[in-house]
Structure 1
Amino acid sequence: MKKEKRYSVSQLSKLAGVSVRTLHHYDKVGLLKPYRNNNGYREYTSTHLILLQQIIVYRELEFSLEDILKILTSADFNLLQALKDQKSMLLKRQEKTQLIINSLENSMSILNGQTNLDILFKDLPAEKVERWKDMMAQSAKAGSLDEYYLSLQHLSNEDAELEQRDFEQWASKYTSSLNLPIDSTVVQALVEQHYVITNRIMNKTQATDVEFDGVGYEGYLKFTDSVLSDPICLDMYEHYGQGMANHLHNAMLYFAENTLKDNVDKYKKLGLERD
C-alpha cells in the first residue's frame, strides 16, 4: 500500500500560502492538528491540506477561529445560518466601506479642484484672490469653497495651467483694445476668442461621461449678463482694466446678436476637442 505523502510545516506553508506561524497557531488552538514524527516535528498530509483550504475560505469570509472550529467539528452546527449571518455582516461592512470610499473620493476631488483654482489665480494679487474666495464662499449654498472646488475637479492640473496662460494673454490683449468700439474687427475677434475659451473650459470641467455640446445663444447671454451682475466676475474683469467689464459686456452682447445667434451650430463646436 502506497504511503500517504507527508509535508513539513514549511512545505505546507508554501503550498497553502499561509505563514508557518499561522500553522503553529492553528495547531495550538486545535484547528489543524498535525501528526508528529519520531523526532517530534510536525507533519501534514493531503487531508490536512484540504482541511486548511477550507479554513482559508472561512477566514476569507471573516469567520472567527472559534466558529471555524465549530463548523469543522460540530455535527449539529448550522452552517447555512452561519453563512447567512456572515453574509449579512459583510454586506453591512461593505456598505460602510463604500461610504468611506465615497468620502475619500469627494475629498480627493475637492483637493484637485482647490489646486486648479489656485493655478487659475496664481498670477493675480494675493489680497484680491483672498477677497474673491471669501465672496465665493459667501455666495455658495454650503458657505464654503467646496462647491467651486468640485466644479473644477475634472480639470487636469495641466489644463488648468493652459487655461490660465491663455486667459492672461487674452486679457492683456483686450485691455489694450478698450479704446476701440465694441463692434470693431479687433474687439469682436477678441470676444470670439473669449467665447472659445469659455466653451473649452466648460467642456474640460465636465465629467467624462457627461456630453457637453457647447455654449448656445441663450447660455451665452447668461454668461454675458454675469460679467456685470456677478460681483466676483465684475471685480475680476475690472482688475485687468478700469471699464473692462462694461466694455466686454457690451461687446459680448453685440457678438451674440450679430455673430453667434445665426451661427450657433458652428460656434458650439469650437474648443470641444478632448485629448
Structure 2
Amino acid sequence: MYLVKEVAQLSGVSIRTLHHYDRIGLLCPRKAENGYRYYTEENLAQLQQILFYRYLRFPLKNIKELLGNDTDNLAQLEEQFLLLTAEQKRLTTLIDTLAKTIQTKKGMIYMTTEEKFVGFRYEDGLAYQEEAIQKYGKEMIESSLDKQKGQEAEVTEGFNTIFQQFADNLVAGLTVEEKENQELAGQLLHHIRTYGFDCSLEVFAFIGKGYVGNPEFQRNIDKFGQGVAQYVCDTIQIYVQKESEA
C-alpha cells in the first residue's frame, strides 16, 4: 500500500493530478476511515498505463474509456509498445534531421530542401493519431497505418514534394485557382488515398481546413514557407468545389 505522497514521489505525478484522476474516476485508490488514500500495486500498474497514454497525447476521457472497456492488460501494453516504438523511430529521424541542420548551419555539410523536412509527418503523424481516430474511426486509421508500414519514406517524401511545390508556386505568385495548384491538390488527394484511406472530397476539404485550424499542422507546413498552410487550404477548397460540381 502506498500513500498519495509516496505515489507522487515514485511516479513524478503531482499530488494535485492524482487527486484529479481520482475525482474523474480514472485512478481510484482505496479510502481509509481516516480519509487517507491508499494505492495498491494494481493502482500503480494502472497509473503506469495512464502515463504511457498521456505521453502518446491521448486525452484523459479516451484513456478512461480504453482502461475501462479493455480487460486485457497485456493487449493494452503490447499496443502501447507498438505506438511508442513508432514514436521512437519518428524521434530518431527528427533528431538526425536536426543534427544535420546544425551541421549545415556550421558549414560542415549541405542539406537539400527535401532533407530539411525528413521526419515531419502530416495526416498520419502520431501526435494527431488519436484526433484522427475520433474523426474517421479506429478501423480506418489502423488500416491506413498498416498500408504505410515499410513505406514511411515514400509517404513522407511524397508530402514533402507536394508541399514544397505549393511553396514554390506561392513565391511565384500563382493564385490558388490556377491549373498548377489545382493539379497539385489532385496529387495530394491521390497521395492520401494511396497511402492513407479512401478519402472523400468532403473529408479532403476538412483536412485542408485542418492545415490552418490545427496550430501544429500549420507550423509544420509553414516550414516550407510563410503562408503555405493557408495557401494549400484555399487551394483544396477550390479543388473540392470544382470536383463536386463536375
Using structure 1 for the length normalisation, give the TM-score.
Answer: 0.43
TM-score between the two structures when normalised by the length of structure 2: 0.47
Structure with the largest fraction of helix: 2
